[in-house]
Amino acid sequence: MEKHVTTETTERPSEFQQEFRLREEPDLWRIIGSSKEIKDVLENIQIVLESDIPVIIQGETGTGKELVARAVHYRGIRSKNPFYAINCAAIPENLIESELFGYEKGSFTGATQQYIGKFEKANGGTLFLDEVNGMSLTTQSKILRVIEEQCFERVGGNKSIKTDVRIVSASNQDLLEEIQENRFREDLYYRIAVFKIEIPPLRKRQDDIPELVHCFVKRYNTLSGKRINNVDPSTMEKLVQYHWPGNIRQLQNAIRRAILVAVTNHDVLLPEHFDFPDVKESNLKMVESLEFGLSKLEVSLKRGEVIPLSEVEEVFIRQALSITQGNISEAAEKLGVSRSTIYRKMEDYGIKADDSK
């Protein structure tokens, strides 16, 4: 399952490219589907367009949270002003404050020039707090303060800067549950979750699958220069029945891959052009948390940072437990360590065997 890290600072196109794409490739930003569920989502988007009301978008991975966040901004009253996204889960804790608030030259070693943070850049526009559930409690307090006071200081600065941003957030966890577990501040929740848009998983809106398939076939056909213009009925049946744990992103990638592997003289997509990995729904949460861990490591690597071995170890222990469905002895054997070692490390990292079941 492909996972893209949604930080402006890493792989996100520049603001100019984003606007260019928006104008030149409107198809890429279209929210496809006509099921009752997606119509409800579109209606909800419509409701919040004319206001500044903070919106939270909840849905599993790949359901289109970012697409909806962009629609809220680009179809709304702030569309002429900037849209900035920050992936709260992928940015290392020690960098998130700088990313959000910026810093003054000389405020710490390496701060050779002033840096403008997202709250300042997005002024007048929208700040998209992606994976907001991944934020530490400390960062949550800082964001709460900015939202309440509508001003902030750059790191190392003492000037108070006024900010006028609309907050749109996304979460792939139920934040009310996170509050119960003391992982999310209730007061921040009520500030950011004034209007909730819930995107149902693809398996709960199978009616949308044929339309999505046709749109993606057309899109990737054009891009790959192939002439596939049909999907065999038995293929479509399989595509509709599959449970798509990675939702629309997975479907999109499956079509892209199928077009790639289909031989040139075929004009129809057949079941053998697809593989339907058997990821169980119960494993999804774990797969997501694993992907989350991996994407954090990826960001640190790209930034040229040295990653503490403990962080690497934690991700791979979680992966081993996921593969063995929480069987500690088997995980220990596969990792080449003793049972007591893995027990100790699980305790150190707060991993529960149940997480993987």
Contacts with ligand ATP by CB under 6 A lie at 6, 31-33, 59, 61-67, 172, 248-249, 252
CA-to-CA separations, 119 to 78, 91, 151, 165, 299, in angstroms, rounded: 15, 15, 9, 7, 21
Work out how close the CB of 235 gets to Mg ion at its nearest, in angstroms, rounded to a whole number. Answer: 28
Binding mask 9-48 for Mg ion (x = CB under 5 A): ----------------------------------------
Distance, CA of 46 to chain centre: 22
Residue 239, classed as helix, strand or coil, is helix
User: In terms of CB distance, is 68 or 259 closer to Mg ion?
Assistant: 68
User: In terms of CB distance, is 44 or 87 closer to Mg ion?
Assistant: 87
Gap between the Cα atoms of 127 and 164, Å rounded: 10
CA-to-CA separations, 186 to 137, 190, 218, 329, in angstroms, rounded: 11, 6, 45, 39
* 9-17, 65-73, 210-218, 220-228 -> range binding Mg ion (CB under 5 A): 65-73
Residue 61, beta-bridge partner list: none
Tokens of 38: 């997606």
Structural contact between residues 197 and 34, judged by C-beta atoms closer than 8 angstroms: no
* 64-72, 224-232, 289-297, 301-309 -> range binding Mg ion (CB under 5 A): 64-72
Residue in 44, 50, 45, 7 with CA at minimum distance from that of residue 29? 45
Structural contact between residues 101 and 55, judged by C-beta atoms closer than 8 angstroms: no
User: In terms of CB distance, is 5 or 188 closer to ligand ATP?
Assistant: 5
Work out how close the CB of 258 gets to ligand ATP at its nearest, in angstroms, rounded to a whole number. Answer: 16
User: In terms of CB distance, is 65 or 154 closer to Mg ion?
Assistant: 65
Work out how close the CB of 104 gets to ligand ATP at its nearest, in angstroms, rounded to a whole number. Answer: 32
Q: In what order do the strands lie in the sheet with 55-58?
A: 83-87, 126-130, 166-171, 55-58, 195-198
Which of 8, 66, 97, 120 touches Mg ion by CB under 5 A?
66
User: In terms of CB distance, is 101 or 292 closer to Mg ion?
Assistant: 292
User: In terms of CB distance, is 88 or 286 closer to Mg ion?
Assistant: 88
Work out how close the CB of 72 gets to ligand ATP at its nearest, in angstroms, rounded to a whole number. Answer: 12
Q: What residues line the site for Mg ion (CB under 5 A)?
A: 6, 65-66
